[in-house]
Amino acid sequence: PCYNEAKNIERLCQEVDQVFKKIAVPYELILVNDGSQDDTLAVAYSQIKRYPIKIVQLSRNYGKEIALSAGIDHAEGDVTVIIDADLQHPPVFIEDFYKHWQAGYDMIYGYRVSRNDEPFLKRCFVKFFYGLMNIGQTRKITPNTLDFRMMDKKIITAMQAMPESNRFMKGLYSWVGFTNIGIPVDIPEIGRASCRERV
């Protein structure tokens, strides 16, 4: 998902390409332009000659959850990685995710090591949010998980078949089931000051 990420796209493409070259796996990078107002689309096009990129252009800004769904709808590989475009999900972790997929896990998700860098009130709200979402649920949503994750084709197929248009992706990941494992991910500072902060 890309919303006003013109300054990050080139480096994202580079780092993603590097990791897939390292593990010697062919890939396709799907950039979903979620109604950006900056040069995201032009920069994405400029990378097409260098990297295997597919661009999905949304007609306006729909928000990250819908941008993610649009990307998932276009995913065709045996395995799919969901990754933020602002480099807060370091592509180098894909190598580790891939090893776990080869070992038989269907979903490998990153989780935040700590939220101690965030304001106290935000941490309280996040705790309250997950507590509330999990009341009475048989399939709990693990707190502090990231959208940064690798999923086997069978999970992608299950998600593509879901009719919901207004989605909470972390709820759906948990709902679809299959075997899963978490990997601790350190979130770099890049983009943190973003005013688009969310749970």
Residues that bind ligand UDP (CB under 6 A): 1-3, 5, 34, 61, 63-64, 67, 84-86, 88, 191, 194, 196-198
DSSP one-letter code for 178: -
Q: How far is the CB of 138 from Mg ion (least distance, A)?
A: 31
- State both tokens at 120: 């106290």
The one of ligand UDP, Mg ion, none whose footprint includes residue 198, by CB under 5 to 8 A per kind, is ligand UDP
Stretch that binds Mg ion, among 25-33, 130-138, 143-151, 185-193 (CB under 5 A): 185-193
Residue in the block written with tokens 């940064």: 148
Residue in the block written with tokens 């350190």: 186
**One-letter amino acid identity for 45?**
Y
Q: How far is the CB of 33 from Mg ion (least distance, A)?
A: 16
146 versus 156: smaller Cβ distance to ligand UDP: 146
Question: Among the residues of 2-161, which ranges form H helices?
Answer: 6-22, 40-46, 64-73, 93-102, 120-134, 153-160
Residue 57 makes CB contacts below 8 A (sequence gap 6+) with 33, 41
Quick check: 183 and 96 in contact, CB under 8 A? yes
The one of Mg ion, ligand UDP, none whose footprint includes residue 60, by CB under 5 to 8 A per kind, is none
| Stretch 68-107: interaction string toward Mg ion, x if CB under 5 A | ------------------x-x-------------------
DSSP one-letter code for 2: B
**Does 152 participate in binding Mg ion (rule CB under 5 A)?**
no
**Does 191 participate in binding Mg ion (rule CB under 5 A)?**
yes
Residue 27 makes CB contacts below 8 A (sequence gap 6+) with 16, 20, 52, 77
73 versus 197: smaller Cβ distance to ligand UDP: 197
Q: Which residues bind Mg ion (CB under 5 A)?
A: 86, 88, 191
